[in-house]
Amino acid sequence: MTVNLLDYDREGLIDFLVEMGEKPFRAKQILKWIHQSNQSDFNQMSDLAKNLRTKLSESSVIAMPQVTRDHTAADGTRKWLLSVGSGNGIESVFIPEANRGTLCVSSQVGCALACAFCATGKQGFNRNLSVAEIVGQLWLANKMLVEDFDRQPLAKMQADIADPQIMYSVRRVTNIVMMGMGEPLANFENVVTALNVMLDDHAYGLSRRRVTVSTSGLIPAMDRLRKRCPVALAVSLHAPNDPLRDYLVPINQKYPIKDLLAACQRYLQDAPRDFITFEYVMLDGINDSASHARELIKLVRDVPCKFNLIPFNAFPNSEFRRSSSESIRVFRDMLMQAGLMTTVRKTRGDDIAAACGQLAGRVYDKTRRTAKENIEAI
Ligand code: SAH
Ligand code: SF4
């Protein structure tokens, strides 16, 4: 059977090599070729013996999803639509900033959790992404960024971007947020293996602070993540009380706020950062009043946290509206005055609908389950 080497972290690759009678240290060399040199052709891996290269090409491939669209918005945000077979599509988005380049990565085709305001949730669930499909998003982004960078005449590049920090971030992915399509912790094993590759010094070598998993609050999986691979954690809170959160984030019916906050506190014992990021989508007239802000401040009193307010991104047939900039400002100021560090997410790449958390590839729902049935199934 042919295996895809993009499916392996270092441990998996060592097992695979040892089974074919090779030395474990070859794994480091191969990881470097694949992930640091973006090499997918075994014949180019010049420090591997010829017979190993032959064995590898007979037994394995290095295969990533196929890019079907590649579009850059006016503000530099770049979105790729990737085909993952059976007519399904996923998206990943690159957001260049002054001192970093963030890639927003998808973890599932669709999502079963059916949050009321989410385009992905509305489409239903098809399947989990494989490790290769998750890591492949990063592999492809780096490859295309480097190629584009190399193609541009240096003089032009230097004129456009004087700051070497920006040059670096435009050239490569420096940060990952698992905030694309899907609930990462509902695809636990594949996501953890993909995180291992992102963190491995012989692959992408990103620090645990630069890799963020965003979850709607799957408590048992949060506890497992903190043991297996504690990276930075963002939690989609979106409401200051259970009745409202039950409606906006239906998984709350299974894992209510009090238990969720306790899990956040446990997570911080092993986390690479000393705070949890709470995401809070700003929905006009739903969760954005001064009394919601007051309730929220009381609620999170005991959790070291930062807030990221996300102006709602509308999509066809969505029943919500984005809060006005004035209510977002008032809400933010109230949190700040209470001592909570708060940022408002810039709505980037609006002209290509690339805003993180609003990624709408093509999903053919396989489950035909209701939201309630999905929650029971998780
Ligand atoms: N499933 C995970 C990660 C993917 S969504 C989670 O829910 O956390 C990433 C973020 O985008 C989440 O906070 C999600 O609630 C938010 N989001 C989803 N749809 C959105 C929309 N239409 N506008 C703004 N934010 C949205
Ligand atoms: Fe799934 Fe996250 Fe969308 Fe909720 S917000 S439906 S958990 S992708």
91: annotated active-site residue: yes
Residues with CB under 6 A from ligand 2: 111, 113-115, 118, 120-121, 182-183, 216, 236
Q: 354 pLDDT band (50/70/90 cuts)?
A: very low
- Alpha helices (runs of H) in the chain, residue ranges in sequence order: 10-19, 26-31, 50-59, 119-123, 131-151, 154-160, 164-171, 188-199, 219-228, 242-248, 257-268, 290-299, 325-337, 371-377
Q: Which residue has the higher pLDDT, 202 or 121?
A: 202
pLDDT in tens, 118-163: 988 888 899 999 999 999 999 999 999 988 777 765 555 555 555 6
Ligand 1, residue 111: give the atom nearest the CA: 1
Contact 319, 155 (CB under 8 A): no
Distance 181 CA to ligand 2 centre (A): 7
Determine if ligand 1 sits within 6 Å of the CB of residue 183. yes
Structure tokens at 48: 């591997």
Pick from 190, 191, 244, 193: which is nearest to 213 by CA? 191
Return the percentage of the chain with pLDDT > 70, whole number.
87
Q: 346 pLDDT band (50/70/90 cuts)?
A: confident
Q: How many C-beta atoms lie closer than 10 Å to residue 267's C-beta?
A: 19
Task: Write down the pLDDT at residue 148.
Answer: 79
Beta bridge partner(s), residue 236: 279
Q: 311 pLDDT band (50/70/90 cuts)?
A: very high
Task: Write down the pLDDT at residue 220.
Answer: 98
Distance 121 CA to ligand 2 centre (A): 5
356: annotated active-site residue: yes
Q: How many C-beta atoms lie closer than 10 Å to residue 67's C-beta?
A: 14
CA dihedral 184, 187, 190, 192 (to 10 degrees): 50
pLDDT at residue 352 is higher than 80: no
Distance 118 CA to ligand 1 centre (A): 6
* H-run or E-run covering 126: strand 125-128
What average pLDDT score do residues 187-207 get? Answer: 98
Indicate the SS3 state at residue 215: strand
The ligand that comes nearest to the alpha carbon of residue 112 is 2
Task: Write down the pLDDT at residue 316.
Answer: 82
Q: 347 pLDDT band (50/70/90 cuts)?
A: confident
- The CATH homologous superfamily to which domain 66-377 belongs is Aldolase class I (3.20.20.70)
Task: Write down the pLDDT at residue 361.
Answer: 57
Pick from 207, 194, 225: which is nearest to 35 by CA? 194
What average pLDDT score do residues 95-109 get? Answer: 91
pLDDT in tens, 12-69: 999 999 999 999 999 999 999 999 999 999 999 999 999 999 999 999 999 999 999 8
Q: How many C-beta atoms lie closer than 10 Å to residue 271's C-beta?
A: 20
* β-pair type (305-311, 341-344): parallel
Task: Write down the pLDDT at residue 371.
Answer: 64
What does the mean pLDDT of the chain come to? 90
pLDDT at residue 364 is higher than 80: no
Which fold is adopted by the domain 3-61?
DNA polymerase; domain 1 (1.10.150)
Determine if ligand 1 sits within 6 Å of the CB of residue 179. yes
Contact 238, 199 (CB under 8 A): no
The ligand that comes nearest to the alpha carbon of residue 215 is 1
For the chain, the structural domain boundaries read 3-61, 66-377
pLDDT at residue 164 is higher than 80: no
Distance 181 CA to ligand 1 centre (A): 8
Task: Write down the pLDDT at residue 98.
Answer: 79
pLDDT at residue 336 is higher than 90: yes
Same fold, 3-61 and 66-377: no
Task: Write down the pLDDT at residue 179.
Answer: 94
Determine if ligand 1 sits within 6 Å of the CB of residue 166. no
pLDDT at residue 180 is higher than 60: yes
Which residue's C-alpha comes closest to atom 16 of ligand 1? Answer: 357
The ligand that comes nearest to the alpha carbon of residue 313 is 1
Pick from 352, 81, 378: which is nearest to 251 by CA? 378
Residues 289, 236: Cα–Cα separation, whole Å: 18
